[in-house]
Amino acid sequence: MTTQAFGQGSSFAVDDMVAFDLGSDAGVAHGIDEETAVEAPSPYAYVFYATQDTYACSVLVNIRQLKDVFETKYRIHVLITNEVSLSYVEALEDSGATVSLQAAPALANGTEGAGYYQDCLLKLYGFRMHQIDTSLKRVIVMDSDQLVLRNLDYLFEDKIEADLAAPRAYWIAKETFSTAFMVITLSDRVWHVVEKALDNIQIDKYDMDIANELFGDTVLMLPGHFVTLNSHWEDWNLPKWFHKPEAIVAGITNGTHEVAWSETQDLNKREQAQQGSQFEPSNYETAPDGQLKDSTQANGNKKGTSESLPKMTTDVNLPTLPKIKDDDSQMADDLLPDTIPGIVNPSKHSDGKPHLPGGIAPPSHGKSSSEVVSTETLDLKDKRYYNELYELYKQVSVLHFTAMGKPWGVNEQMLKDGRPDAHPVFREQFMTWRKVARNICPTDIVVEL
């Protein structure tokens, strides 16, 4: 075993044979200061992983969201590979995260797209976080190419009696869960099951395939708002789990493999109806026992947010909107986003032109791109689901970037030119990420908005 130092005052044990000797203490963080060890650390932590600087930048964005906006009281771990540069390792450490260098498990020889997905199995090391940090008992493992939009701490505090809880991959017809967001109750028993699968991985098997094969029958399904694709605001459709406020009921249903808070209800509005109180959505979360949890009180005195950075929030500057028609219905099955199970969504418009729902390209009538954008903007309010898509954004806990590209590769001008017919929230999602990244990422990943 060798020791490699990253940043000032931090050192991490790095196993030379991590990929082959998983039984060792590979990647275990050492050197905890005695002064910080007086109080036992929390057994809960968020876990991100990054295999490139661009993804490490997105981890920084979400660390800032969790810490400064939602004031999480729990630790954050980041698993990285040696492709992440020293400047990002230092930035991650400066953010307060614990960084652990790992060698990602290898895909089977002959796997299609192995170059693109070569490090995707690193997230499955989330199941061995109790070996990387022996104080941990439960972790929330998230993909980094996402945007956290609500406080998630209550998932640690609720009594989830399952080895794994994960959101339904609602864009897939069959019963499948997404590995982009996983709540894992750590144990040697569960890790050994995953470890054995990694040792015997088959061709064309990725993280999502492995996890569903191992835990598909026992997973506790979470609502779809824990991983919501941003393609809804590109294609003007609604996920099946979304319910308009007027359709929300106050009851809580419990069923086999169903999470105690119902995916058919907006959490904040349901509690508001039960308690008869008014509160800000960003400050409260709901527990399965029906009790309100004030995240600001739970975390003690409210901390200040950096004035130099824009505040990330789920609130949108809503225009004056007409009343939503009562007869609006959910999208049909054939309007589900055309993503693949691994949530990698290549550009669906091969001709490079913007398309309306149904695959119809809007006519330009010989106008310039700027004129087309202006015309489309004027017509957007008349489109179906205009109001509902604003409401959907308020209900999202974690947004996953699948449409058009990752936020570090899509600037404002590209959005105007490429998706003039997208819902206004679509642009807001990219701009929210890019404004923060431009301020906190150490390299020029985001130069212009």
Residue 108 has a pLDDT of 75
Residue 314 has a pLDDT of 41
- Give yes or no for a contact between 1 and 21, defined as CB atoms under 8 angstroms apart: no
What CA–CA distance (Å, rounded) separates 423 from 415? 11
Lowest mean pLDDT among 112-126, 175-189, 216-230, 274-288: 274-288
On whether the 32-244+312-449 domain is CATH 3.40.50.300, my answer is: no
Residue 43 has a pLDDT of 96
Residue 173's pLDDT band (cuts 50, 70, 90): low
Residue 34's pLDDT band (cuts 50, 70, 90): low
pLDDT digits (tens, 9 = 90+) for 393-432: 999 999 999 999 999 999 999 999 999 999 999 999 999 9
Residue 114 has a pLDDT of 58
Rounded to a whole number of angstroms, the CA Rg of the chain reads 22
Token pair for 191: 């890790």
DSSP string, 142-211: E-SSEEE-S--THHHHS---SSEEEEB-TTSSSS-B-SSEEEEE--HHHHHHHHHHHHTPPTT--HHHHH
In percent, the amount of the chain with pLDDT more than 70 equals 60
pLDDT digits (tens, 9 = 90+) for 359-403: 333 333 333 333 333 344 447 787 889 999 999 999 999 999 999
What is the pLDDT averaged over residues 234-238? 95
Domain-wise residue ranges, the chain: 32-244+312-449
- pTM equals 0.67
pLDDT digits (tens, 9 = 90+) for 336-361: 333 333 333 333 333 333 333 333 33
